[in-house]
Amino acid sequence: MPLLEIKKAKLKLDNKDILKGLSLSVSSGEVHAIMGPNGSGKSTLSYMLAGRDGYELESGEVFLQGQALSDMEADERARSGLFLAFQYPVELPGVGGMSFLREAVNSRRKFLGEGELDHLAFVKEARKVASKMFVKDDMLKRAVNVGFSGGEKKRFEILQMAMLKPKVSILDETDSGLDVDALKIVSDGVNAQRNDENAIVVITHYQRLLDYIVPDFVHILSDGRIIKSGGPELALEVEKNGYAGLINAA
Protein backbone atom coordinates (compact mmCIF):
# COMPACT_ATOMS: atom_id res chain seq x y z
CA MET A 1 0.00 0.00 0.00
CA PRO A 2 1.41 3.41 -0.93
CA LEU A 3 1.89 5.94 1.84
CA LEU A 4 0.22 8.60 -0.22
CA GLU A 5 -2.12 8.00 -3.09
CA ILE A 6 -3.72 10.76 -5.15
CA LYS A 7 -6.37 9.61 -7.59
CA LYS A 8 -7.64 11.91 -10.33
CA ALA A 9 -7.73 14.96 -8.10
CA LYS A 10 -9.75 17.86 -9.47
CA LEU A 11 -9.94 21.16 -7.68
CA LYS A 12 -11.32 24.60 -8.46
CA LEU A 13 -10.31 27.89 -6.89
CA ASP A 14 -12.63 30.80 -7.43
CA ASN A 15 -14.41 28.80 -10.10
CA LYS A 16 -11.19 28.27 -12.00
CA ASP A 17 -9.93 24.76 -12.63
CA ILE A 18 -6.54 24.45 -10.98
CA LEU A 19 -6.00 20.73 -10.50
CA LYS A 20 -7.35 18.88 -13.49
CA GLY A 21 -7.26 15.19 -12.66
CA LEU A 22 -3.90 14.76 -10.97
CA SER A 23 -2.76 11.31 -9.91
CA LEU A 24 0.33 10.39 -7.96
CA SER A 25 1.37 7.44 -5.86
CA VAL A 26 4.15 7.67 -3.29
CA SER A 27 5.43 4.63 -1.44
CA SER A 28 7.48 4.40 1.71
CA GLY A 29 11.17 4.96 1.35
CA GLU A 30 10.69 7.11 -1.75
CA VAL A 31 11.57 10.69 -2.57
CA HIS A 32 9.55 12.34 -5.32
CA ALA A 33 10.33 15.68 -6.90
CA ILE A 34 7.67 17.82 -8.49
CA MET A 35 8.73 20.51 -10.91
CA GLY A 36 6.60 22.79 -12.98
CA PRO A 37 6.13 26.31 -14.24
CA ASN A 38 4.88 29.13 -12.03
CA GLY A 39 1.17 28.89 -11.46
CA SER A 40 0.92 25.26 -12.56
CA GLY A 41 -0.70 24.23 -9.28
CA LYS A 42 2.15 22.95 -7.10
CA SER A 43 1.32 24.92 -3.99
CA THR A 44 -2.36 24.29 -4.58
CA LEU A 45 -1.61 20.58 -4.55
CA SER A 46 0.24 20.90 -1.26
CA TYR A 47 -2.58 22.92 0.38
CA MET A 48 -5.12 20.42 -0.87
CA LEU A 49 -3.15 17.58 0.68
CA ALA A 50 -2.73 19.44 3.95
CA GLY A 51 -6.46 20.15 4.15
CA ARG A 52 -6.55 23.90 3.95
CA ASP A 53 -10.03 25.45 4.02
CA GLY A 54 -11.24 26.14 0.51
CA TYR A 55 -8.98 23.54 -1.06
CA GLU A 56 -11.46 20.68 -0.97
CA LEU A 57 -11.48 18.35 -3.97
CA GLU A 58 -14.19 18.67 -6.53
CA SER A 59 -13.67 15.05 -7.47
CA GLY A 60 -11.06 12.35 -6.99
CA GLU A 61 -9.63 10.89 -3.84
CA VAL A 62 -6.54 11.02 -1.66
CA PHE A 63 -5.38 8.39 0.79
CA LEU A 64 -2.77 8.71 3.50
CA GLN A 65 -1.66 5.23 4.59
CA GLY A 66 -4.91 3.90 3.17
CA GLN A 67 -7.09 6.37 5.02
CA ALA A 68 -9.26 8.76 3.00
CA LEU A 69 -8.09 12.31 3.64
CA SER A 70 -11.50 13.77 2.84
CA ASP A 71 -12.69 12.55 6.24
CA MET A 72 -9.90 14.32 8.11
CA GLU A 73 -9.45 17.92 9.16
CA ALA A 74 -6.12 19.66 8.62
CA ASP A 75 -4.96 19.12 12.21
CA GLU A 76 -5.87 15.41 12.15
CA ARG A 77 -3.93 14.98 8.95
CA ALA A 78 -0.94 16.64 10.55
CA ARG A 79 -1.13 14.53 13.68
CA SER A 80 -1.42 11.43 11.48
CA GLY A 81 1.94 12.27 9.98
CA LEU A 82 1.42 14.65 7.08
CA PHE A 83 3.82 17.56 7.10
CA LEU A 84 3.96 20.58 4.85
CA ALA A 85 7.00 22.84 4.75
CA PHE A 86 5.43 26.08 3.57
CA GLN A 87 6.61 28.01 0.56
CA TYR A 88 5.85 31.10 2.63
CA PRO A 89 6.07 30.25 6.36
CA VAL A 90 3.64 32.28 8.45
CA GLU A 91 4.61 34.69 11.24
CA LEU A 92 3.08 34.15 14.66
CA PRO A 93 3.81 37.31 16.67
CA GLY A 94 4.44 36.71 20.34
CA VAL A 95 4.36 32.92 20.01
CA GLY A 96 7.71 31.58 21.15
CA GLY A 97 9.30 29.03 18.83
CA MET A 98 10.10 26.60 21.60
CA SER A 99 6.56 26.61 22.97
CA PHE A 100 5.08 26.29 19.52
CA LEU A 101 7.29 23.34 18.71
CA ARG A 102 6.46 21.69 21.98
CA GLU A 103 2.73 21.92 21.44
CA ALA A 104 3.13 20.55 17.95
CA VAL A 105 5.38 17.70 19.01
CA ASN A 106 3.18 16.76 21.94
CA SER A 107 0.09 16.72 19.73
CA ARG A 108 1.82 14.30 17.41
CA ARG A 109 3.16 12.18 20.27
CA LYS A 110 -0.28 11.97 21.79
CA PHE A 111 -1.65 10.73 18.50
CA LEU A 112 1.08 8.09 18.34
CA GLY A 113 0.25 7.00 21.86
CA GLU A 114 3.60 8.20 23.14
CA GLY A 115 3.68 10.21 26.34
CA GLU A 116 4.16 13.92 26.21
CA LEU A 117 7.72 15.09 26.64
CA ASP A 118 8.31 17.07 29.77
CA HIS A 119 9.72 20.52 29.44
CA LEU A 120 13.34 19.62 30.04
CA ALA A 121 13.39 16.55 27.83
CA PHE A 122 11.79 18.57 25.09
CA VAL A 123 14.18 21.48 25.29
CA LYS A 124 17.10 19.08 25.18
CA GLU A 125 15.77 17.33 22.09
CA ALA A 126 14.95 20.61 20.36
CA ARG A 127 18.43 21.99 21.02
CA LYS A 128 20.02 18.83 19.68
CA VAL A 129 18.06 18.94 16.45
CA ALA A 130 18.56 22.67 16.15
CA SER A 131 22.31 22.39 16.44
CA LYS A 132 22.36 19.83 13.64
CA MET A 133 20.52 22.30 11.45
CA PHE A 134 22.82 25.09 12.60
CA VAL A 135 19.80 26.90 14.00
CA LYS A 136 20.86 29.09 16.89
CA ASP A 137 19.13 28.58 20.24
CA ASP A 138 18.29 32.22 20.04
CA MET A 139 15.99 31.56 17.11
CA LEU A 140 13.94 29.09 19.17
CA LYS A 141 13.34 31.78 21.74
CA ARG A 142 12.06 34.26 19.22
CA ALA A 143 8.48 34.43 18.00
CA VAL A 144 7.79 31.93 15.25
CA ASN A 145 9.07 33.26 11.90
CA VAL A 146 8.82 36.88 13.06
CA GLY A 147 11.73 38.83 11.62
CA PHE A 148 13.37 35.62 10.38
CA SER A 149 15.24 36.02 7.12
CA GLY A 150 13.92 34.04 4.18
CA GLY A 151 16.55 31.38 4.69
CA GLU A 152 15.99 31.18 8.43
CA LYS A 153 12.30 30.56 7.87
CA LYS A 154 13.05 27.64 5.60
CA ARG A 155 15.51 26.20 8.07
CA PHE A 156 12.97 26.47 10.81
CA GLU A 157 10.48 24.55 8.67
CA ILE A 158 12.89 21.67 8.28
CA LEU A 159 13.70 21.81 11.98
CA GLN A 160 10.01 21.32 12.67
CA MET A 161 9.93 18.44 10.25
CA ALA A 162 12.81 16.81 12.08
CA MET A 163 11.04 17.22 15.41
CA LEU A 164 7.68 15.92 14.20
CA LYS A 165 9.00 12.85 12.36
CA PRO A 166 6.24 12.80 9.77
CA LYS A 167 5.28 9.90 7.50
CA VAL A 168 4.84 12.04 4.44
CA SER A 169 6.54 15.41 4.06
CA ILE A 170 5.80 17.88 1.32
CA LEU A 171 8.49 20.51 0.92
CA ASP A 172 7.19 23.43 -1.09
CA GLU A 173 10.17 25.29 -2.57
CA THR A 174 12.17 24.85 0.57
CA ASP A 175 15.28 25.64 -1.45
CA SER A 176 14.19 29.05 -2.64
CA GLY A 177 15.87 31.84 -0.73
CA LEU A 178 18.63 29.63 0.63
CA ASP A 179 22.28 30.52 0.12
CA VAL A 180 24.67 27.80 -1.03
CA ASP A 181 25.76 26.79 2.44
CA ALA A 182 22.22 26.82 3.81
CA LEU A 183 21.06 24.71 0.88
CA LYS A 184 23.59 22.09 1.86
CA ILE A 185 22.65 22.23 5.55
CA VAL A 186 18.93 21.99 4.87
CA SER A 187 19.44 19.19 2.37
CA ASP A 188 21.54 17.26 4.87
CA GLY A 189 18.75 17.81 7.38
CA VAL A 190 16.22 16.36 4.98
CA ASN A 191 18.43 13.47 3.94
CA ALA A 192 19.04 12.55 7.56
CA GLN A 193 15.33 11.94 7.86
CA ARG A 194 15.00 9.68 4.85
CA ASN A 195 14.22 6.13 5.82
CA ASP A 196 12.25 3.11 4.68
CA GLU A 197 9.14 4.10 6.52
CA ASN A 198 8.54 7.59 5.32
CA ALA A 199 8.32 9.48 2.09
CA ILE A 200 9.22 12.96 0.94
CA VAL A 201 7.78 15.04 -1.87
CA VAL A 202 9.96 18.01 -2.83
CA ILE A 203 8.53 20.80 -4.91
CA THR A 204 11.27 22.79 -6.57
CA HIS A 205 12.19 24.91 -9.55
CA TYR A 206 15.87 24.07 -9.46
CA GLN A 207 17.74 20.97 -10.38
CA ARG A 208 20.48 22.03 -7.98
CA LEU A 209 18.50 20.93 -4.94
CA LEU A 210 18.15 17.50 -6.48
CA ASP A 211 21.92 17.12 -6.51
CA TYR A 212 21.69 17.11 -2.74
CA ILE A 213 18.34 15.44 -2.21
CA VAL A 214 18.45 12.83 -4.90
CA PRO A 215 14.93 11.82 -5.88
CA ASP A 216 13.71 8.42 -6.97
CA PHE A 217 11.15 10.02 -9.26
CA VAL A 218 10.71 13.38 -10.93
CA HIS A 219 7.30 14.60 -12.09
CA ILE A 220 6.49 17.55 -14.28
CA LEU A 221 3.33 19.37 -13.26
CA SER A 222 1.79 21.60 -15.85
CA ASP A 223 -1.63 23.19 -15.94
CA GLY A 224 -2.98 21.05 -13.12
CA ARG A 225 -1.77 17.69 -14.39
CA ILE A 226 1.36 15.59 -14.23
CA ILE A 227 2.45 15.54 -17.82
CA LYS A 228 5.58 13.50 -17.48
CA SER A 229 7.31 11.35 -14.88
CA GLY A 230 10.80 9.93 -14.89
CA GLY A 231 14.02 9.56 -12.95
CA PRO A 232 16.51 12.24 -11.85
CA GLU A 233 17.55 12.71 -15.46
CA LEU A 234 14.20 14.40 -16.15
CA ALA A 235 15.21 17.27 -13.86
CA LEU A 236 18.42 17.71 -15.83
CA GLU A 237 16.42 17.89 -19.00
CA VAL A 238 14.22 20.64 -17.53
CA GLU A 239 17.28 22.52 -16.39
CA LYS A 240 18.71 22.41 -19.87
CA ASN A 241 15.68 22.93 -22.09
CA GLY A 242 12.98 24.46 -19.89
CA TYR A 243 9.40 23.28 -19.80
CA ALA A 244 8.28 24.36 -23.28
CA GLY A 245 9.34 21.22 -25.10
CA LEU A 246 7.85 18.95 -22.45
CA ILE A 247 4.58 20.82 -22.43
CA ASN A 248 4.29 20.80 -26.20
CA ALA A 249 5.02 17.11 -26.35
CA ALA A 250 2.34 16.33 -23.75
Q: Which is nearer to other proteins, 42 or 108 (CB)?
A: 108
Contacting ligand ATP (CB under 6 A), which of 8, 27, 39, 230?
39
Cβ-based burial of 54 (10 A; exposed 0-12, middle 13-18, buried ≥19)? exposed
Question: CA–CA separation, 71 vs 36, rounded Å?
Answer: 29
Q: Which is nearer to Mg ion, 85 or 159 (CB)?
A: 85
**Binding partner of 174, given other proteins, Mg ion, ligand ATP, none, CB within 5-8 angstroms per partner class:** none
CB of 110 to other proteins, least distance (A): 8
CA distances from 143 to 78, 136, 156, 157 (A): 21, 14, 12, 14
Q: Contact between 44 and Mg ion (CB under 5 A)?
A: no
Q: Contact between 43 and Mg ion (CB under 5 A)?
A: yes
Q: Which is nearer to other proteins, 114 or 179 (CB)?
A: 114
Q: Contact between 225 and ligand ATP (CB under 6 A)?
A: no
Q: Which stretch binds Mg ion (CB under 5 A): 40-48, 141-149, 208-216, 230-238?
A: 40-48
